[in-house]
Structure 1
Amino acid sequence: MSAAGPHGPAFSGRVGWGSQPAVLVVDLCRAYTEPDGPFALPDPASAVEAAAALVDAARSGGHPVVWTAVRYARGLADGGLFVRKVPALAAFAEDAPGEWGELTLEPDPGEPVVVKQYASAFFGTTLAPTLVGLGVDTVVLAGVSTSGCIRASATDALNSGFRPQVVRQACADRSPALHENNLADLDAKYADVVDLSGALTHLQRPA
């Protein structure tokens, strides 16, 4: 693909990689990866495997790994209109049954887990100052869902001055069409959509 991309010279420029990447694993939890979960994905295994590979590469290269998890207070008082628009988010309330918010992959001790209530990992959270404090300039995104929290987080990463790299194989959505269409639009306007192999090469370089 040329630098101008399939949309002509108006779109699909590259933000590229900086020198200090971090992997951000967004909302990869049982609600999405278990077959009976409220947001169950049709085939989550490949995205989980790719996310795990990114996490392992970042750890071996000495790069930060940051996680997000969705949590709401009992009664959803901190959910605003989002929980009204998406009632299934009630599964993430502190008094909800099922432990659907439990992360599918295990953070290492000392790896930050940023708690959020809305789609973007940056909105109303400590994520941006955490990344700044870690010296991060590039955010490598994995997780769910491509059209929702990945898209919102990638857009806000760009808005916040970080270089968003969305790893195609490490994200998933409720249908292949939603996944691919949102990747195409993200790559056109808000992030670099990259393949797993290239991301692993960058992350395996020592910090």
Structure 2
Amino acid sequence: MSVPEPAPGPHGSAFSGRVGWGSHPAVLVIDLCRAYTEPGGPFALPDPGPAVAASSALVDAARAGGHPVVWTAVRYTRGLADGGLFVRKVPALAAFAEDAPGEWGELTLPPAFGEPVVVKQYASAFFGTTLAPTLAGLGVDTLVVAGVSTSGCVRATAMDALNSGFRPQVVRQACADRTPEVHQSNLADLDAKYADVVDLAEALAHL
């Protein structure tokens, strides 16, 4: 049986095919915490409100539709021994150490009882974590991605979702970055090569 060729996207046949939606989606909210959403946070975003609101809408829709919601949080041990070279490259990650002041790692939206919170130390939510077996155990085939930042942990996670056999759907309104230009350029590149970038309305309709 032959495999059909993907439909060409806006960049021609080389890029921007679509992975599409499966039948068992889950919402993944990546690192949406006070460090990004509170004024004075080490990674404070210029306007986090829209992404927080869109992420909240996705979470509500998933819960109402009986779909899993999974969260990620960054945590390091006292002294950052488990941070490797990443904390040397991005020193502000020290805000997520267990002995750091400020509680910057506290999630902005509250997980419901029983919703997994995957703790990670690196950009991808798949690297060195239980995320892949957790999703597989839940029967998930499509990962609806929200959170921060678009160019960092969202991008790395979407790429690894594809690599791990899950259909990544990155919701443009539910992600944010340090500038609108960085946000938009990374969405464009993700959509060209690694994920489907979708609008909030489409994601809510599928959930």
TM-score (normalised: structure 2)? 0.96
**SS of corresponding position for 2:143:** strand
Cα deviation, residue 4, structure 1: 2.5
C-alpha distance in 2, partners of 1:167/1:12? Answer: 16
What is the match of residue 46 of structure 2?
42
Which of the residues 168, 182, 186 maps onto 2:190?
A: 186
C-alpha distance in 2, partners of 1:143/1:198? Answer: 17
**SS of corresponding position for 2:79:** helix
TM-score (normalised: structure 1)? 0.96
What do you get for the CA RMSD once the two structures are aligned? 0.5
Q: Aligned pair 1:25/2:44, yes or no? A: no
**SS of corresponding position for 1:59:** helix
Superposed structure 1 runs of 4+ greater than 3 Å apart: none
Aligned residues: 201
Cα deviation, residue 5, structure 1: 2.6
What is the match of residue 69 of structure 1?
73
The one-character-per-residue Cα deviations of 1:104-130 (angstroms, maximum 9, x if unpaired) are 000000000000000000000000000
Q: Which residues of 2 match residues 37-186 of structure 1 at below 5 A?
A: 37-186=41-190
C-alpha distance in 1, partners of 2:10/2:124? Answer: 27
Cα deviation, residue 35, structure 1: 1.2
Q: Give unpaired runs (5+ residues) of structure 1.
A: none
C-alpha distance in 2, partners of 1:200/1:6? Answer: 24
The one-character-per-residue Cα deviations of 1:50-89 (angstroms, maximum 9, x if unpaired) are 0000000000000000000000000000000000000000
Q: Give unpaired runs (5+ residues) of structure 2.
A: 1-6
C-alpha distance in 1, partners of 2:98/2:82? Answer: 11
C-alpha distance in 2, partners of 1:127/1:25? Answer: 12
**SS of corresponding position for 2:144:** strand
Q: How much identity, in percent, do the aligned residues show?
A: 86
